[in-house]
Structure 1
């Protein structure tokens, strides 16, 4: 779930989500269905024990950046989200190659190794990243991470956010992978929106700002750790924000270039 003022109740909201037959299948907020064939690097983090059998137990998103390496948000593996330390979640799985969480297909893989950024600051949300090594490589195509000076980070660029999270901001979770187009925004916009609020503090060196001036398209609870993509390259991980799709409160993402040292040190390729 995207960390926000409602993050503390996000895990409970997932457990109490509507039955699959009643769940809205509209988007991450204001988007459309996504084809897994075009986004094979989008994965789900799941635990039936913590979040039930519906929707494969999904509670966060992740991104395949190597055939054995997944990146996600550090707060997805926090006690605040899971209810217990992540080490105590015995059935933690990474769901690869499954767009419909109520169906079969794909693989549910155990993490062989988990690294959660020890410098993650839960007050500012800086350093919101984790690296998971799969128990075995998968054939799915990983997505490249945009480097520090990549033009994909330029403000005004069209980006796409992916996830299985809340489609309305009111606890209605998608069963199929969805995507929404947002614009990469100038750092100054997020600095004004989040100068140091109860939800966090925008830090341009490690965060990226994306959204729409009038709101309406955004990531939401359940999308955390999922990808923000520009021209086939990963530029961000869903991290935090105030509300979902609200005007004046754009989404904040972990800047993907900040992941590169962690992936090099803790990933498996």
Structure 2
């Protein structure tokens, strides 16, 4: 498997001129982009070995993050991947006491919160990214979600391939995509090896802008499994008040209660002004309307959460967003933030 990259115009490549208020909040940001080598925090070789291999091994070792200084690194805590302290316990098949002791409250955490059961039989485009080497056999090794957009292509989040997510500097070993598997405890559906991963090199881990990646499968699936992506002309899908559905296998309570089965929740698309009020650029992050969309409920209660990263947000039968970040899970006035697929349509078309 190999990784590729392409530039995304208009998105800043470095944080050197960015004021501190642009930096992500300190609740959920767990991973950074592969291409630049910036990480939220480094793992020691001992920590990495708990979920697989030591950092710097494999053909992508040239992408290993540099050490840098603490001031160079963004704070931890905002993306919706499986928490680092839980990864080792998943790999060994037990929940370590330390992981439980560190579990956040429901108001501070991102499977889908406030939703209900869903099935891949009726939503075949919902897939799980998995690595049994990194995360063990329990829950099939799932660590992120994704959406089939063609018979061989999956759209997901760039931060799913960061060193802090996978525990290593390369992403070559045993990555797979689970297709048609509603329940992660079963062998239903297909486990398909990953051939290539394209990670947007313009993904900015400080702001989470451009948080997009495309996975290529080794084997095709039926073309009718795929979902169409939103185009720039599909403006009504993003209007304030429109309803959308988010899918995933992540935390259902905000207390790291990862779901074994696929879930979904209906959320309300919010206007840019509401999103900018929720995330004005303080410690909870900055919403950037040019490439992001936010969705939730004004009173809270329904949202994506940890473990849902990369999963689909769907409206009008089209993929309109990818789970990216947020402040806590299902909090009032703190909606989830998603990659705005329509804004990246041309970039994504080049990868299909």
TM-score between both structures, scaled by the size of structure 1: 0.91
Distance 1:19 1:179, change over 3 A: farther
In the alignment, the residues of structure 1 paired with residue 189 and residue 183 of structure 2 have an alpha-carbon distance, to the nearest angstrom, of 10
In the alignment, the residues of structure 1 paired with residue 346 and residue 232 of structure 2 have an alpha-carbon distance, to the nearest angstrom, of 11
Deviation per CA, 1:52-94: give whole Å up to 9, x if none. Answer: 111000000000001111010000011121121243x401111
Q: Paired residue for 2:187?
A: 104
Cα distance, 1:136 vs structure 2? 1.5
Q: Paired residue for 2:228?
A: 144
Any unmatched runs of 5+ in structure 1?
21-26
**1:124 paired residue among 203, 207, 230:** 207
Cα distance, 1:199 vs structure 2? 4.8
Cα distance, 1:33 vs structure 2? 0.3
Q: Is the 8 A contact 2:230 2:345 kept in 1?
A: no
Matched, 1:39 2:61: no
Deviation per CA, 1:234-266: give whole Å up to 9, x if none. Answer: 110000000001111100000011332233212
Matched, 1:181 2:203: no
The equivalences for 1:1-269 within 5 A come to 5-8=27-30, 10-16=83-89, 28-87=112-171, 89-139=172-222, 141-150=225-234, 151-267=236-352
In the alignment, the residues of structure 2 paired with residue 138 and residue 227 of structure 1 have an alpha-carbon distance, to the nearest angstrom, of 18
Any unmatched runs of 5+ in structure 2?
1-24, 31-76, 78-82, 96-110
Cα distance, 1:196 vs structure 2? 1.4
Cα distance, 1:212 vs structure 2? 0.3
Q: Is the 8 A contact 2:291 2:344 kept in 1?
A: no
Deviation per CA, 1:153-193: give whole Å up to 9, x if none. Answer: 11101110000000111110000100001000011111111
In the alignment, the residues of structure 1 paired with residue 113 and residue 340 of structure 2 have an alpha-carbon distance, to the nearest angstrom, of 21
Bigger Cα displacement from structure 2, 114-123 vs 138-147: 138-147
Deviation per CA, 1:123-160: give whole Å up to 9, x if none. Answer: 11100000111112101510001111212111101110
In the alignment, the residues of structure 1 paired with residue 273 and residue 323 of structure 2 have an alpha-carbon distance, to the nearest angstrom, of 19
In the alignment, the residues of structure 2 paired with residue 138 and residue 187 of structure 1 have an alpha-carbon distance, to the nearest angstrom, of 36
What's the RMSD between the two structures over aligned residues?
1.8
Q: Is the 8 A contact 2:214 2:351 kept in 1?
A: yes
Distance 1:15 1:168, change over 3 A: farther
In the alignment, the residues of structure 1 paired with residue 140 and residue 195 of structure 2 have an alpha-carbon distance, to the nearest angstrom, of 20
Bigger Cα displacement from structure 2, 105-114 vs 63-72: 105-114
Q: Is the 8 A contact 1:49 1:91 kept in 2?
A: yes
Runs of 4 or more, structure 1, over 4 Å off, are 17-20
Q: Paired residue for 1:24?
A: none
In the alignment, the residues of structure 2 paired with residue 29 and residue 115 of structure 1 have an alpha-carbon distance, to the nearest angstrom, of 29
Cα distance, 1:214 vs structure 2? 0.8
SS at match of 2:229: coil
In the alignment, the residues of structure 1 paired with residue 174 and residue 282 of structure 2 have an alpha-carbon distance, to the nearest angstrom, of 35
In the alignment, the residues of structure 1 paired with residue 257 and residue 26 of structure 2 have an alpha-carbon distance, to the nearest angstrom, of 17
Q: Is the 8 A contact 2:113 2:301 kept in 1?
A: yes
Aligned length: 258
In the alignment, the residues of structure 1 paired with residue 26 and residue 347 of structure 2 have an alpha-carbon distance, to the nearest angstrom, of 24
SS at match of 1:16: helix
